[in-house]
Amino acid sequence: MFVSKNLGVNEKNHLTIGGVDAVELAEQYGTPLYVMDEDLIRENCRLYRDSVQEFYGGHGRVLYASKAFCCKAICKVVSEEGLGVDVVSAGELHTALSAGVPAEHICFHGNNKPADEIEFGILSGVGRFVVDNPDELALLDSLAGKAGRRVKILLRITPGTDAHTHDFIKTGQIDSKFGMAIENGLAMEFTKAAYRMKNLDVCGIHCHIGSQIFELEPFTYTARVMLSFMADVRRECGETMSELNLGGGFGIKYVEGDQPVAYHRYLEQVAKEIDAVCAELDFPRPFIYLEPGRSIVGSAGVTLYTVGSVKEIPGIRTYVSVDGGMTDNPRYALYQAKYEVLVANRAGDDADWRVTVAGRCCESGDLIGENLPIQQVNSGDYLAVLATGAYNYSMSSNYNRVQKPAVVFLKGGKSRVAVRRESLDDILKNDLI
């Protein structure tokens, strides 16, 4: 009945997350609160890892795209499950390294990595840099030379795939700040330049076609385009690339009607396509990388709030205000992301009200959603917003000097704090007078 399979309702009519009473969590840890079901996260990691084993003979690695949700605890969990980690900044890299993720299993992304962060990556020994453009290629080569290291790279290529998704999160087309396009010849120029670099070792290519994608076809099509490009490189440069990173972007269920592809089906189809194209082009089957972010953590998260005011504007709408908002979840304000909400202490009741859930910030656009079906709700109730595990905590801010919530992990029916709630002193910690 809920969007995530780890949710239920207990005999007290309370929402349960991984079998744990959400109302008890709200009372024990306070609100707003991010709750992450570690058991479900581990299960998601295994689904991906096992599918690489089953459909691709284990000739690949799954990298967790940590931008979806990054803290030491999650890096440790995914690493224990055999995944590597994608990072896009020194901050994410430092987090992953501090959590004990082996540097060689870290992949460093980003369309404009600052020089000092590149140096940090080189000296840490990250496994792969994904190089975005010619300027970065030259910069990385010179920094690698300065450090006396040879650096392994993948080249970010734009395959030109339209993944039928929201414009703001679509990155596969020619007009993109990410990567170099095949269609206009720039990708090939870029590749030739990469092979000329003294301190770089070109392992292969990378693409990422978008996010929250529900169809299989954009992925299989992209695999074909990328492999054809690898065959073109072999013809034009005489070099055979051995690695193909297919990115992430697999959709999850946020609301009724969302129909994500089962992740093992994804790899089954893509592996078939890779085998077919490799046979057609007489190209050796590459080592592959998958980079799921959202689909590892999204469904595992629930945000709990306390309801403050409930204000009915007759004939217009009812505003239900909560003790968080765009500071912990800016996704509605950014691109009208949809969520399912419910009253955690009345979870089994009919959702026969319609309300707008508003945050506490001084910004009219600070909403969690509009016209949402919900149970009868009063001041003092606990509100749960479902499937908030991805791009919530990682996009949180201190706007209005609101403190960031705690993150609690659930495992085997027990809870623990993975990230402490910010204190008022944390808010001041960098201020000088």
Q: What are phi and psi of 239, to 5 degrees?
A: -120, 135
DSSP string, 372-401: EEE----TT-EEEEES-SSSSGGG---GGG
Q: Does residue 211 touch ligand PLP according to CB under 6 A?
A: yes
Q: Does residue 294 touch ligand PLP according to CB under 6 A?
A: yes
Site for ligand PLP in 342-401 (CB under 6 A): none
Question: 293, 301, 325, 369: which one contacts ligand PLP (CB under 6 A)?
Answer: 293
Give the residues across from 288 on adjacent strands: 60, 244
Long-range contacts: 232-237, Cβ < 8 Å, 24+? 232/188, 233/188, 233/191, 234/283, 236/188, 236/192, 237/191, 237/192, 237/195
Which of 286, 293 has the CB closer to ligand PLP? 293
**Contact between 57 and 320 (Cβ < 8 Å):** no
String of contacts with ligand PLP for each residue 215-254, x by CB under 6 A: --------------------------------xxxx----
String of contacts with ligand PLP for each residue 56-85, x by CB under 6 A: ---------x-xx-----------------
Residue pointed to by tokens 């076809």: 217
Tell me which stretch binds ligand PLP (CB under 6 A): 142-150, 257-265, 290-298, 413-421. 290-298
Q: C-beta of 233: minimal distance to ligand PLP in Å? A: 20
Which of 262, 428 has the CB closer to ligand PLP? 262
Q: C-beta of 206: minimal distance to ligand PLP in Å? A: 7
Which of 209, 343 has the CB closer to ligand PLP? 209
Cα four-point dihedral sign 109, 301, 43, 124 = positive
Question: 159, 292, 301, 389: which one contacts ligand PLP (CB under 6 A)?
Answer: 292
Q: Which two tokens stand for residue 230?
A: 């690898």
Instruction: Measure CA of the first residue to CA of the last residue in the chain; give whole Å.
Output: 53
Extract the annotated binding site.
249, 291-294, 331, 335, 363, 391
State how far the alpha carbon of 341 is from the alpha carbons of 256, 338, 352, 431, in Å: 12, 10, 12, 37
DSSP string, 276-337: HHHHHHT-PPPEEEE--SHHHHGGGEEEEEEEEEEEEETTTEEEEEES--TTT-THHHHH--
Q: C-beta of 247: minimal distance to ligand PLP in Å? A: 5
Which of 107, 374 has the CB closer to ligand PLP? 107
Q: C-beta of 378: minimal distance to ligand PLP in Å? A: 36
Which of 67, 170 has the CB closer to ligand PLP? 67
Extract the annotated binding site for substrate.
294, 331, 335, 363, 391
Catalytic position from the list 207, 237, 361, 362? 362
Cα–Cα distance measured from residue 202 to residue 80, given in angstroms and rounded to the nearest whole number: 28
Give the residues across from 319 on adjacent strands: 311, 356
Q: C-beta of 240: minimal distance to ligand PLP in Å? A: 24
Q: C-beta of 304: minimal distance to ligand PLP in Å? A: 23
| CA 256 distance to own-chain centroid | 21
Active site residue 362: yes
Q: Does residue 121 touch ligand PLP according to CB under 6 A?
A: no
String of contacts with ligand PLP for each residue 98-117, x by CB under 6 A: -----------x--------
Which of 65, 386 has the CB closer to ligand PLP? 65
**Contact between 289 and 18 (Cβ < 8 Å):** no
Cα–Cα distance measured from residue 59 to residue 282, given in angstroms and rounded to the nearest whole number: 18
| Chain residues that interact with ligand PLP, rule: CB under 6 A | 65, 67-68, 86, 109, 208, 211, 247-250, 291-295
Q: Which residues are catalytic?
A: 362
